[in-house]
Amino acid sequence: MDLISFTWLVWIGATTLLFWILPAKLRFGWLLAVTCLFLLTFEPTSLGLLAVLTGTTYFLTKGPRPDGKRVALAIVPVAALLFGYKIFSASQGDDLVTTGVIPLGLSYYTLRCIHYAMERYKGAIRDLGPWDLLGYLFFIPTIFIGPIHRFPEWRRDKSRHRWDSEMFSEGLERILHGYVKVAFFGNFLVSDQFASWSEDATTPGSAQELYLEMIRIGLNLWFQFSGFSDLAIGFARLLGFRVMENFNWPFFQRNISDFWANWHISLTSWSREYVFNPTIAVTRSPAAGALASLIAIALWHEVSVRYLVWGLYHGLGIVVWQKCRPLWGKLPQVANRFGQHALHGLSVLVTAHFVLLGFLLVRQEGFGEIIDALQIFGTGWT
Amino acid sequence: MKLYLFLQSRVPKPLAVVLTGLWFALLIVLAFFFANEPQAVFRYGNI
């Protein structure tokens, strides 16, 4: 089912209406029932997997404080399942999202399961019984496309749960913003109008065509993905939950580290907690942490050479930036305001182009096509 | 809401209400008028 549709609006409306009409003790059972009904209707495989993952995660981490072996037993099969699906999907051709090779939402609820198990191991989350874990993992607004919200915040909102008209109004506003971003900006302006204009204005196979394609891909991703995140955040607010933000003007950041702090925030913060920090704890090297973190993010999207290259590209970008940062501070500072603005603009432009080039390269089918695209940029300007 | 609060501190309250209303009307028109645009494939990896 398409999330930009009247059907999904009806699901949001009916879920929210009954949620607030029902007595407080029945509300979370209702949310659980809606998620099960939705998955049963549109994605039964996902319902089965999510039920199994929830069960194993709960039973292996229950008790006062689970030991490392039990937590590893909870995490390894979950991660292996996701990894297996990613390898399988990478071998299935190009039209993967629409054909649904990967069960709906698996990439997201796997990371939530790992988060829960790790936090139980650290002792940051108490064993609150299976219903809280079920409610968290089966939370319908975020189950399909994130954000990868965290259990403590979800539990806090659940315990403080009450009607808040201001939050409800914010929710409606965010849903509207989401629809406008996806339908108007993403689908109409970027994918339709901008694509036709660039097709007419450039020669096929030229660097100009590739450059405009690069901008189109980046803008489309941003509008689509942040629009869908708005829908999820808005839906959660209608139900009285504040879910973490996922995007904060990523293409207007001054360096690659800032870009990753503002693009798919819930994923990058997950990776910081569970990949970057453990890697640093073992290696004492921020560079190794950045590389491991970005490679994990890349392989989470797809286990393939092109995504590995994409992860290395961004990881090395961050490492180079970390190394250059102290030198940057030693350069003579620009005193006048115009110069500062110009420098700021230039930094934003360079960062955006670095990221956009990465998106273009990862869209190529393999390493050979990546080299071809780079060659066109080198020699194909007409 | 943010837009309304922003406007309220700068223009008379009735005008802030009208401008906010017009802004949301525009968004609703855009969202529903273009809702039938063909969906671009949301290809951000196989998520």
Those residues whose C-beta lies under 8 Å from the C-beta of residue A109, and which sit 6 or more positions away, are A50, A53, A137, A143
Domain range for residue A177? 165-238
Contacts of A331 (CB under 8 A, 6+ apart): none
| Tokens representing residue A246 in the block | 């996922």
State yes or no: pLDDT of A273 exceeds 50.
Answer: yes
pLDDT in tens, A35-63: 999 999 988 888 999 999 999 999 999 98
In a domain, A244, yes or no: no
pTM of the model: 0.92
- Of A238, A260, A281, the last residue of a domain is A238
**What pLDDT score does A97 carry?**
45
Question: Does residue A254 sit in the same domain as residue A321?
Answer: yes
pLDDT greater than 70 at residue A360: yes
Q: Are residues A363 and A258 both part of a single domain?
A: yes
Residues of B in contact with A96 (CB under 8 A): 43, 46
Indicate if A117 and A255 belong to the same structural domain.
no
What does the mean pLDDT of chain A come to?
91
Cα(A282)–Cα(A278) distance, rounded to whole angstroms? 6
For residues A110 and A22, state if they share a domain.
yes
Residues A224 and A271 in one domain: no
Same domain, A260 and A346: yes
Pair of tokens at residue A314: 């961004």
Of A93, A126, A159, which closes a domain?
A: A159
Q: What is the separation, in whole angstroms, between the first and last Cα of chain B?
A: 33
Stated length of chain A: 382
Asked, for residue A221, whether it belongs to a domain, the answer is yes
Same domain for A288 and A375? Answer: yes
CB proximity A165 to B under 8 Å: no
In a domain, A50, yes or no: yes
Answer yes or no: do A60 and A142 share one domain. yes
What residue type is B1 in one-letter code? M
pLDDT at residue B43 in the model:
41
b/e code A319-331 from CB counts within 10 Å (16+ = b): bebbeeeeeeeee
B30: amino acid identity, one letter: L
**One domain, residues A141 and A170:** no
CA dist A36 and A232 (Å) reads 17
| Residue A95 clears pLDDT 60, i.e. is over it | no
Q: What is the CA radius of gyration of chain B?
A: 17
User: Between chain A and chain B, how many beta carbons pairs sit less than 8 Å apart?
Assistant: 80
Q: Pick the last residue of a domain from A159, A174, A196.
A: A159
Q: Which of A168, A314, A196 is nearest to A250 (CA)?
A: A314
- Test mutation, A182, A196, A263, chain B, max B CBs within 10 A: A182
Total number of domains constituting chain A: 3
Q: Check whether residue A92 and residue A42 sit in a common domain.
A: yes
ipTM, 2 dp:
0.82
- What pLDDT sits at residue A227? 93
Let me know whether A107 and A123 are in one domain: yes
> Does some domain include residue A1?
no
B24 CB neighbours in chain A (<8 A) are 173, 176
Name chain A contacts of B30, Cβ cutoff 8 Å: 180, 183-184
How far away is chain B from the Cα of A114, in angstroms, using its nearest Cα? 17
The alpha helices in A187-331, defined as continuous H runs, are: 195-201, 207-238, 256-262, 265-271, 277-283, 286-301, 305-330
Question: B29: distance to nearest CA of chain A, Å?
Answer: 9
Q: Which 8-state DSSP code applies to residue A379?
A: H
Q: What percent of chain A has pLDDT over 70?
A: 97
A113-156 pLDDT, tens digit each: 999 999 999 999 998 889 999 999 999 999 888 899 999 999 99
CB contact (8 A) between residue B30 and residue A170: no
pLDDT digits (tens, 9 = 90+) for A215-264: 999 999 999 999 999 999 999 999 999 999 999 999 999 999 999 999 99
Out of A86, A179, A186, name the one closest to residue B46 (CB). Answer: A86
**Helix spans in A44-127 (H):** 44-61, 68-90, 96-99, 106-122
Residue A42, class by beta-carbon neighbours within 10 Å (0-12 exposed, 13-18 middle, 19+ buried)? middle
Same domain, A259 and A362: yes
| A61 domain-assigned | yes
pLDDT exceeds 80 at position A2: no
